[in-house]
Amino acid sequence: MSTGGLGGLNKSPNGVVFGVVQLQLPNVVTPTDLAVQTQCIVDLVAKARRNLPTMDLVVFPEYSLHGLSMDTNPAIMCSLDGPEIAAFRKACVDNSIWGCFSIMELNPGGMPYNTGVVIDAEGAIKLYYRKLHPWVPVEPWEPGNVGIPTCVGPKGCILALIICHDGMFPECARECAYKGAEIMIRTAGYTAPIREPWRYTNRSNAFCNLMATVNVCMCGSDGTFDSMGEGMIVNYDGEVLAHGTTGRPNEIITAEIRPDLVREARATWGVENNPYQLGHRGYVAVSGGARDCPYTFMTDMVAGKYEVPWAETVVEKDGKSCGFAAPTRTYKGEETPPDIPK
């Protein structure tokens, strides 16, 4: 296992150092609990800075603010202009560090969104994402409707963010790469039964897209659920650079990523340059490769008629088994992201 530069202790001129926080799984029921947990995250931003002065970006897991209760109580939902995001922005400024944070976002028109934000060291929100694929039937969140954005991150790297179950869909990671992401962050609240799929999808998402992946789950127990931590930072060739295997809550797993080497691989690899070759099939045989779409699932999805052959046998098609009433609203499609507070 490579740890290039000893996990970021010896930072290279072209390196970007990430820290992923295996945050202790909280219980959040009241607005007071929410305020206490907000301060806990703020304190851990400061710990991250003290922990490693070379760190460029600290990543907190999905559910780090709200815990795993799936509570949709409006009193503990957040907004981009609310006190929680304001506290995270100030923490990034105070500690001169970028941060990636998770909130459950109030949605007056329906169920809350499961939202992630990336904030720069000056306190500006640089990336805003709503989870595309809630973990059904367990999660009640509104499906994301702002696509998968990218942003320019520390030292000019291109970042994307997906959340938890999104990473089980290879299409999500491919979309990140297709939009130029050199580093994909994946935050999660997964518990121990998902440990092995978590490990191999973090690696396959990296290799299949020549893209580094930065991944972390919640950690520890809230008395009901046991989250696993499993912070993983994976290089573009699928090699694990750092892996939190101790299950120790609030441990920060660190590694340096070289975006310049991602760019070099994407430019110079012949064999296994998969993101390019997907749209240029057989370029040895035909000039420029075949540029058509041979995949029925893609064309059917675009046409609004995606359906697997075994759809009639699928048992779970709403959230009733997990205590949620069957929905009556239909999906409205992509929309313009909300105004980002200055």
Q: Quick one: angle between helices 195-207 and 170-178, nearest 10?
A: 30
Which sequence positions are flagged as catalytic? 62, 131, 164
Q: How does the average pLDDT of the chain come out, rounded?
A: 96
Rounded CA-CA distance 257/273 in Å is 19
Structural domains present in the chain: 4-304+313-322 (3.60.110.10)
Of 5-9, 168-172, 317-321, the range with the lowest mean pLDDT is: 5-9
pTM for the whole structure: 0.96
Average pLDDT for residues 222-251, to the nearest whole number? Answer: 95
Q: What is the pLDDT of residue 4?
A: 61
For 63: left if phi > 0, alpha if psi spans -120 to 50, otherwise beta; the answer is left
Using one digit for the tens of pLDDT, what is the confidence trace for 189-216? Answer: 999 999 999 999 999 999 999 999 999 9
Answer yes or no: is pLDDT of 1 > 50. Answer: no
Rounded CA-CA distance 58/49 in Å is 9
Rounded CA-CA distance 315/20 in Å is 37
Closest CA to 229 of 246, 206, 211: 246
- The percent of residues in the chain predicted with pLDDT above 90, rounded, is 93
Q: CA-CA distances (angstroms) from residue 184 to 41, 173, 204?
A: 22, 8, 12
Answer yes or no: is pLDDT of 329 > 70. Answer: yes
Q: Are strands 150-152 and 125-130 parallel, antiparallel or unpaired?
A: unpaired
Whether omega before 149 lies within 30 degrees of 0, making that bond cis, reads no
Rounded CA-CA distance 253/59 in Å is 10
For 323, what's the count of Cα atoms within 13 Å in the CB-facing half-sphere?
Answer: 6
Query: Phi and psi of 65, rounded to 5°?
Result: -95, -35
Average pLDDT for residues 128-155, to the nearest whole number? Answer: 97
Answer yes or no: is pLDDT of 279 > 80. Answer: yes
Answer yes or no: is pLDDT of 334 > 80. Answer: no
Answer yes or no: is pLDDT of 312 > 90. Answer: yes
Q: What is the pLDDT of residue 2?
A: 47
pLDDT band at 336 (very low <50, low <70, confident <90, very high): confident
Answer yes or no: is pLDDT of 286 > 50. Answer: yes
Using one digit for the tens of pLDDT, what is the confidence trace for 74-115? Answer: 999 999 999 999 999 999 999 999 999 999 999 998 999 999
pLDDT band at 14 (very low <50, low <70, confident <90, very high): very high
Quick one: tokens of 293? 């779409």
